[in-house]
Structure 1
Amino acid sequence: MKEFMLAGVSSGVGKTTVTLGILKALANRGYQVQPYKVGPDYIDTAYHSRITKRASRNLDSFMIPDTLALAWSYYKWHQDADVAVVEGVMGLFDGLGTDKDCASSSDIAKKLGIPVILVIDGKATSTSAAAMVHGFSTFDPELTIAGVIVNRVASQNHYELIKGAIERYTDVEVLGYLPKNMDVDLPSRHLGLIPDVEMEDLDQKFDILGKLVEEHIELSRLLEHVEKATVRMQNPFATKNYAPLTLAYAMDDAFHFYYEDNFDLLRDLGVTLVPFSPLKDPQLPQADAYYFGGGFPEIYAKELMANVSFRQSVLEAHEKGYPIYAECGGLMYLGSSLEVDQVSYDMVGIFKGKSIMTPRLKRFGYCQATTQVDSLFGPKGTQVRGHEFHHSTFETQEEPVLALEKTRDGAVVASWTGGYQKKNTFASYLHVHFYQGESLLHHWLNYIQEAR
């Protein structure tokens, strides 16, 4: 089994570009490639999945604190693959606070035994690159740095200077580079890269990247460095059958931020999943409960408002007592209105309040919530790990039901309230991974059963 992590020395060195090129080149060679992404990312994983035709998975040691559950989120998915490729997050040692082993790419690499290919930015550097690689390769002796790839190189001569310096002053092999190429730049907006569903020329960019990797990166040599024995493990989650429960979930251009593992765990428990589109469908499908994930409702606010019959069907489902769970973009949709560039658009109206888009991130990062009332998460006092990332605020007089705090290096650095519950509808800005604890998901499914 071949497996490796592509990790940057910092954010912005182009590790996503390098990852996409390598995924495409491996796919072109006929390999079955299982992709992963460190951290709570939805857009990069969609890019991975589009290239490999396999659902990319999130590896997150904050959201999944149990080591066995974390290992299962990794090993389960590449048993039938030839290569496992993990894209890191931020810089290799960057995580939550100053602890290099707290929710960082290096933490994931060590816990799962994944060799690291370090990605550095070659722009405006030569011999100094060796000092950077030396520092990263010696900073944590428990970590395996299996090679280096240099991005944004000006010329072959420039690459030879960088390669020569690194291999002269360190024991790390340089495995190739990518040249500067404006044709493969990936556009972004307020939440990062633009989702793949909105990109018309994405496949052409992937083709170019795949060819660049074949031309400039020693892919066969890289694969020689990352051969490992295949690991087999048992499913650590208890088996329980919730059939014939049916959960319908929003899935279209406006709502598509979900952890694939959440869906698969639900299927493993016998839950039938049914997609629907708040943009296109006339009404909700028949189901026992409904799930609105995150996404970009602000980009499609006009279209969401125009689908009056669908919005009315959601409000009616709420009034009839159907359980509804919403995260981030879902909360924005279930409020009374959504304001974008000072234009207000009518939304569902379960929660009396308006979402207002803001120029800067209002919340960013991992946090822990404690329920202030009995809810679908569990009894009052239940703790939930999650992640917030949004460019909006929800202004409301509704009573919040979550107390949230962000800790860093053992100290609370921020605290706030959020999350709202009415009848059997719960919505908050919190993105939640179900692998964090079985009781959380089982309580939600039992909650749905009792409401039927």
Structure 2
Amino acid sequence: MSCEIVFPRLLISAQKGGAGKTLFSLGLVSALSSLGKKVIPFKKGPDYIDAGWLAFAARNPCYNLDPFFMSSDIIISSFLSRASSDAIAVIEGNRGLLDGVDVEGSCSSAQLAKILKTPVILVLDCTKVTRTLAAFVKGCQILEPDLIFGGVILNQIVRARHEKIITRSIETYTDLKVLGVLPRLRKFSFPMRHLGLLPWQEHGEGDAITKTLAEKVIENVDLEKIIEISQKAPAFSSGVPLFWPSREKEVKIGVFKDKAFQFYYQENFEALKALGAELIFLDALKDSSLPDIDALYIGGGFPETQAEALEANFSLRKDIRQAAMAGLPIYAECGGLMYLGRRIIWKDKAFDMVGALPIDFEVNEKPQGHGYVKAKVVAENPFYSLGTKLLGHEFHYSKPINWSKDDVVLAMKLSKGHGFSRGYDGVVYKNILGAYTHVHVLGLPVWAVGLIEAAKKWKQGFTFDFRNICQDQTLVLNEINHFIKF
């Protein structure tokens, strides 16, 4: 099936991380939405916090696209299944436009823009610089001649003369236009954490933030021109929209989604639902008991910042521990892994957690693991077959302490990344698999299949046999591959 429909779209990038592309992307999405435009947000790369803010601003789910996890065909399929001819797709890049995993810029925002034939708008941090920015823009055009450049946004402009010199330099030495200017917001502050924004769930003033940014974009940016650029994006001549086989609801999977645990990919939820799961969303800070579920999925987040409230919810922690000891399948990523341990130690204070894993976790001031992950499954576990190769990412400030290799099995050997300890990740204990590695279902469809099949076994009352579960995965994966090539 081919597709000749034009999907209006833009990719927002910059010369570096911290240049202002997230604030501009939020402002643009909010401004377009306030003018009655339908906006579908996307985020390039492994990112939850920016994606959460974009979804909040658009009042639509935000989807992630990343050439490290996904093939070009999967990226196009995922985009075609979310985008719409009557909406504007705004894709926020990550880091600098050309920054990838190697000298060729593989997996960069530029590569994503080329895959999707998407016009790029560059946000430039103008702090202490003028004419040099024209050389940067020109250099990007030379290094990536196949990119479609839509224009430039100037950020951190101090005064009119500053703006004039940069604008004239860019428009003299390149064929791009300056589409707008964001003045320095002296009274505007956006709390940061771990080199990123504070999650919107914890901010408390999300509406005020997005309203302020929308007003600044409307006042200072040529929105009509930006809309026009998005509408001139080339039509797709090929590509098949993503299609998950729809199955009847067979199992209930609990998912903690609250101030402590917010790091989930929307696509992961959609895949679980399509493959037969009813998702039961829970609040680890407020719910006093665990409902009747067949498996539990705990994503990442910041359990350390909510540690006091998590500790205070003793009845829920007790329920989870008892369920885990009884063999409930539990898949936990990063913050979820920490929550299942005995304690979280943060700022010289220890907080009791679930206690299902014989491990304490200490939160440090510096990252303990940061970046993409490549792993291979080397030990039996409830969710993955031996030999399964995983592509994922990690970003954690915590590390495990007070644990013994005699008490747990580490199921994943990493060829890239830090993981749990010395190049290994994936703690297996009972029917728990907890890892610092985050995975995206479009790069690892077996993840959703494994969770569903483990839940079905538990519901049917079978004693766990990891090998049988992994054999059953093959049947479902064959069904998925019938519709889309992974």
Matched, 1:388 2:388: no
Q: Which of 184, 194, 199 does residue 190 from structure 1 map onto? A: 194
**How far has the Cα of 1:433 moved from its partner?**
0.5
Partner of 2:311: 305
- TM-score w.r.t. the length of structure 2 is 0.88
**How far has the Cα of 1:121 moved from its partner?**
1.2
CA contact (8 A) 2:311 2:351 kept: yes
Partner of 1:210: 214
Matched, 1:291 2:297: yes
Q: Which amino acid in 2 is paired with 1:274?
A: I
SS of residue in 2 equivalent to 1:146? strand
Q: Which of 104, 110, 117 does residue 113 from structure 1 map onto? A: 117
Q: Which amino acid in 2 is paired with 1:139?
A: L
CA contact (8 A) 1:282 1:309 kept: yes
Matched, 1:426 2:433: yes
SS of residue in 2 equivalent to 1:165? helix
Which range moves more in the overlay, 230-239 or 253-262?
Answer: 230-239
Matched, 1:58 2:64: yes
Name the CA distance, whole Å, in 1 between partners of 2:33 and 2:159: 27
SS of residue in 1 equivalent to 2:292? coil
Partner of 1:132: 136
Give the 5 Å matches for 1:218-367: 218-227=222-231, 228=233, 231=236, 233-237=239-243, 239=245, 241=247, 243-367=249-373
Name the CA distance, whole Å, in 1 between partners of 2:361 and 2:39: 40
SS of residue in 1 equivalent to 2:409? coil
SS of residue in 2 equivalent to 1:90? coil
**How far has the Cα of 1:306 moved from its partner?**
1.1
SS of residue in 2 equivalent to 1:4? strand
**How far has the Cα of 1:237 moved from its partner?**
5.0
Name the CA distance, whole Å, in 2 between partners of 1:225 and 1:440: 38
Q: Which of 79, 87, 93 does residue 82 from structure 1 map onto? A: 87
Give a deviation string over 1:177-211, Cα, whole Å, max 9, x none.
10001233311022521111222333222222111
Matched, 1:444 2:447: no
Q: Which amino acid in 2 is paired with 1:132?
A: F
Q: Which amino acid in 2 is paired with 1:8?
A: A
Which range moves more in the overlay, 296-305 or 242-251?
Answer: 242-251
Q: Which of 168, 172, 178 does residue 164 from structure 1 map onto? A: 168
5+ residue gaps, structure 1:
408-413
Partner of 2:464: none
Name the CA distance, whole Å, in 2 between partners of 1:448 and 1:435: 20
Q: Which amino acid in 2 is paired with 1:298?
A: E
Q: Which of 380, 384, 408 does residue 378 from structure 1 map onto? A: 384
- TM-score w.r.t. the length of structure 1 is 0.94
Query: Number of residue pairs matched?
Result: 444
Matched, 1:94 2:99: yes
Q: Which of 414, 421, 435 does residue 404 from structure 1 map onto? A: 414
CA contact (8 A) 1:372 1:381 kept: yes
SS of residue in 1 equivalent to 2:360? strand
Q: Which amino acid in 1 is paired with 2:93?
A: G
Percent identity (aligned): 34
5+ residue gaps, structure 2:
1-6, 460-486
Give a deviation string over 1:44-101, Cα, whole Å, max 9, x none.
111111111001111111122x22222222221122652000111000011213231x
Name the CA distance, whole Å, in 1 between partners of 2:187 and 2:348: 35
**How far has the Cα of 1:273 moved from its partner?**
0.7
Name the CA distance, whole Å, in 1 between partners of 2:234 and 2:140: 26
Give a deviation string over 1:398-421, Cα, whole Å, max 9, x none.
3322111218xxxxxx96112211
Name the CA distance, whole Å, in 2 between partners of 1:344 and 1:17: 36
**How far has the Cα of 1:236 moved from its partner?**
4.6
CA contact (8 A) 2:68 2:107 kept: yes
Q: 1:252 to 1:238 in 2, by over 3 A?
A: closer
Q: Which amino acid in 2 is paired with 1:420?
A: V
**How far has the Cα of 1:310 moved from its partner?**
0.3
Name the CA distance, whole Å, in 2 between partners of 1:272 and 1:27: 31
The structure whose residues are more often strand, as a share, is: 1
Partner of 1:154: 158
CA contact (8 A) 1:248 1:274 kept: yes
CA contact (8 A) 1:38 1:59 kept: yes
**How far has the Cα of 1:240 moved from its partner?**
5.5
Q: 1:209 to 1:297 in 2, by over 3 A?
A: same
SS of residue in 2 equivalent to 1:211? helix
Name the CA distance, whole Å, in 2 between partners of 1:373 and 1:206: 46
Name the CA distance, whole Å, in 2 between partners of 1:14 and 1:313: 44
Which range moves more in the overlay, 273-282 or 196-205?
Answer: 196-205
